[in-house]
Structure 1
């Protein structure tokens, strides 16, 4: 029988994977969100990762009907793994996906998980659900594999078809099949982890490491602010040493770096170990939006000589540059905090979907034409559009005639450009 693959979850990870797999297999892409499926059938790529042409020309089928995945014999789970309000893992999407698949499993089928989890989740949480709902047993009736996703939204260089992947499986035969599948997916290296737990752990620490490194420079930035030192000037000097790690300070949001460390912290604490370094890094990065907000207000009040701040313009709301993903963007924290001070906030983003911004954050994006008579401009996201199409002179034109304050949170403009326009620049 020719393999048929069902990809469960068609987000930034699942959709590119589905399109790629469809070049080699019969593929069904499933998502419970009917609106997403309607867009895919219309050739609309809501992820900006594959493009309308790839959707229209793909042989992949897209469905929101769970009954249609029964035809598959390989299931790949690419659902998100967020955290609850108390920062503990929210495994509900993963549990729901496992409950969805279980009743359709037949002898010889395989389930591969790509979602980021703490070590042990696949075998301790997902497998029991599959066994109970399928009435089959692991390695007797079905097998499981694990290949953690490494998609970087908006990154056109490191794509699903080129990146190296870590793979593991519950038995040697299953590993052979997982290897064959992902050899079709990527031209990158396939690293075989000795166990599923090791593969799970490797993924969760990748983003935790970045979180720690960014927390380090964020802590420096906070201290240098009070010392009256420009952080970027310090980093430029330190980067002249060959082994200095070139991380930048800033807001840490999104669905990976700001989430994954909590999975590690949770599992470690379950076993009686408090993860001091990762917990401290998370605390530092979580407070950056508040630090930036307070800096904006204090600098603006100082520039206004104590007069009220009427309007602040915000450029960029997505969680990272050149990417439409809004999930866990810390820019919204700054916007809400400024509104708490009864400040009128204008917001622009050339990439974000205005309908999603309004639906999820009750915020209407404004055109650049409306950016006038502001007390300050905050360049919050380093979109290429702002780098290429907005000059220091353009930013000055958005300010009141007697105001000269721009907050360049991503350090995308040279200081000399601001000095030439008699603008005061503040950056993290």
Structure 2
């Protein structure tokens, strides 16, 4: 026995001593290549799915978990052991959460659940070149390091607001309300508005060359929409789940992906050219004033006929950059601007009322005697006001006929 002791010691001292895990493991974005639940063959995510990612940040043994499940954010904490001679290390993940799954398709949801289930049971990691393998009992997750690419300069010519004018999916045009905006500010991208009937909000990033936009989860209100609008919302949310290629041609912008294309037009831009001075009003044709912010305008006539009888009077108010009111039953509201020759508090010859953000409405069950007030405002009517501020002032909204809708003329009286 004593003769074996020196030999045993020699063998042990010849083995490499355990060392801290490679710094390549921490601070790298790891992209999932295969997921292998216990007892199953490795599964490679489909080409149409956004692959989950994993990042470990921090120093020492205690780390922070980040990344995505492919359709929702990933959070949690990790404790990393030391790497031995086989380049393996203990790795325990704690409190791993996958965020909300409301924007996940059925296929993405299945991958998300397999991914999270294995992550919560991981006990060891093995790093070999640019490949990372996480072991969870008899299950496995394999990753590849995301290739680091030089950062391309951000296309600042996109800066500003763009309004969605067209949405196509599977080669077909879907209806849009003209109230969905995408705004660029350097690498930051924000989305807000309505494409169907729900208000949408989301943020994203503009990266790469050629430029691509990647959006995070998009939040939405939960109103039940008519079938055409619901189909448009579903198509839009599906399109926004993958990186979109950005193409600019003058004042037109397209965001394209496997699920379809968004076409946008640039919103109004500030100009240094002074606006022409409107001609002085003649004594017989006084210049109409802008809407009185202290007044409530009640509908009196529609297309020359008396206003329809409704459960509540149809009305409008114009305060603090928002147009609000009642459509005969529900309350409505939206931010707006007047576009046209406005000078010294007056609108010369009428101005176009344009909604600049999503329109909101309450959802009270109403009789069929209401009017489509939001539909009128959405058509960018021409607004004229006659008379001095206060009671008796008349406000008129008019729109021209189009192939899809007739001409309209709505008259309101200040109360």
* Structure with the larger helix share: 1
Q: Pick the structure with greater CA Rg.
A: 2
* Both proteins in one fold, TM over 0.5: no
* Structure with the larger strand share: 2
Q: TM-score normalised to the size of structure 2?
A: 0.27
